[in-house]
Amino acid sequence: MSQHIVSPRLYFLVFAALLALTGLTTGVAFIDLGAYNTVAALAIAVTKALLVILFFMHVRYSPHLTRIVVVAGFFWLAILITLTLSDFRTRRWTPSPSGWETSSVLRQAPR
Amino acid sequence: MSEAPVALAHQFDDLDQQHDAGSFGMWVFLVTEIMFFGGLFSAYTVYRSLYLEGFVAGSHILNIKLGATNTAVLIASSLTMAMAVHAAQKGKQKALMTFVLLTMLLGMVFLGIKYVEYHDKYVEHLIPCESQACSNLGLEFAPEGEALQPIQRQHAPLPHVEIYFCFYFFMTGMHALHMVIGLGIMTYLLLMARRGKFTAQYYAPVEVGGLYWHFVDIVWIFLFPLLYLIGGRY
């Protein structure tokens, strides 16, 4: 057997780090950082998720094939969110052709 | 060492290959789970950007102490799950069963706290539901008292807050459903461990069940800041 066995000490260290980060993210939520509140909350969440994935889920010790699957999963999630937002965020950047403006306009002037 | 280990299924070359194939298959399933929750997270992002005041007011109504406690409980359950896998790798039956049991207990504490939160929202009339059948059951979206304060402070239109609570209940509900399924998996692991099915050579179900449990933990790691924290508590 050559499966990597993670030491309980490392598990407890990761656990302590996760608890500390939970405390940190809760504390930061009460400080006014403007838009950076969201950035900080997400950055801490990503860090925590990475700790869980790498150590608790053993991806740090997994073969490349498994790692590719993990990375591909999150890459596809990034595509999902990026393309969805690129649609919603840019809809009003270009002018609509006349008569396309909004549905309420259409309702006011039925043809 | 000359005899072939019985734990090895005949289609694999050796135990390592069998172990890696099991984890690989579980991760492929977890990728579908990432995309499932990913759909909810992107819908949340779009609606949050459309109805920011409603979402901020909604998150102010949630109980941040219970949310943070639940995060800690779930992280602790991930630790006991990791320790269960460790015990299985070492072939320690007793420790394996103890840690699986501890994981289940912490999972149930999480669901218990979640129940308290849901009940609070029920009492405060924060259940997003419009139909006659709902109002007959006392389920309605008509915040009053303390719950109304953040809504008024943010000048948030009520329908927008209601959409926030749709997301809150659907996302946490889906997560809770995964927790219940996880508890089922833990029960199975416990029974198998009691029958002595796991050895230091063969513990794939413990490893794979652990992957699932940790994944559900990760979903909550994102739900907690998105639903409870962002939106300015100061």
Partners of A88 on chain B (C-beta within 8 Å) are 46, 49-50
Cβ atoms A56, B78 nearer than 8 A? yes
Q: CB distance A32–B38 less than 8 Å?
A: no
Residue B79, amino acid:
L
Among B41, B68, B211, beta carbon nearest to A22: B68
pLDDT for position A101 = 60
Place of tokens 């419009």: B130
Residue A64, amino acid:
H
pLDDT above 80: residue B233: no
Residue B60, classified by CB atoms within 10 Å of its CB into exposed (0-12), middle (13-18) or buried (19+), is: buried
Partners of B20 on chain A (C-beta within 8 Å) are 62-63, 65-66
Nearest to B64 by CA among B202, B228, B219: B228
- The predicted model gives B226-232 an average pLDDT of 89
pLDDT for position A107 = 44
B 205-224 → A contacts, CB under 8 A = 207, 210-211, 214-215, 217-218, 221-222, 224
Structural tokens at position A15: 């656990």
Q: pTM of the prediction?
A: 0.91
pLDDT above 80: residue A97: no
Q: Using 50, 70 and 90 to split pLDDT, how confident is the model at A106?
A: very low
- B21-30 pLDDT, tens per residue? 999 999 999 9
- B109-155 pLDDT, tens per residue? 999 999 999 999 999 999 998 888 888 888 889 888 888 888 998 89
Q: How far apart are CA B161 and CA B158, in angstroms?
A: 5
Place of tokens 């962002």: B230
Work out the mean pLDDT of chain B and round it to a whole number: 93
Is A75 an 8 Å CB contact of chain B? no
pLDDT for position A18 = 98
Nearest to B128 by CA among B172, B165, B176, B171: B165
Residue A86, classified by CB atoms within 10 Å of its CB into exposed (0-12), middle (13-18) or buried (19+), is: exposed
- The predicted model gives A58-81 an average pLDDT of 95
pLDDT for position A2 = 53
pLDDT above 70: residue A15: yes
Strand partners, B126: B141
Cβ atoms B24, B211 nearer than 8 A? no
Does B128 or A1 have the greater pLDDT score?
B128
Q: How far apart are CA B205 and CA B185, in angstroms?
A: 9
pLDDT for position B122 = 92
Nearest to A54 by CA among A42, A70, A69: A70
B 5-64 → A contacts, CB under 8 A = 15-16, 19-20, 23-24, 27-28, 30-31, 34-35, 38-39, 41-42, 45-46, 49-50, 64
Place of tokens 């509900």: B173
Is B146 an 8 Å CB contact of chain A? no
Cβ atoms A22, B75 nearer than 8 A? yes
- The predicted model gives B196-221 an average pLDDT of 95
For B202, the closest chain A residue by CA position comes to A1
Structural tokens at position A27: 């504390």
Is B189 an 8 Å CB contact of chain A? no
Place of tokens 């919603």: A88
- The predicted model gives B35-63 an average pLDDT of 94
Domain boundaries, chain A: 1-62, 64-111
- The predicted model gives A39-47 an average pLDDT of 96
Is B177 an 8 Å CB contact of chain A? no
Domains of chain B and CATH, by start: 38-228 (1.20.120.80)
pLDDT above 50: residue A105: no
Partners of A47 on chain B (C-beta within 8 Å) are none
pLDDT for position A92 = 76
Cβ atoms A48, A18 nearer than 8 A? yes
Q: CB distance B34–A74 less than 8 Å?
A: yes
pLDDT for position A94 = 78
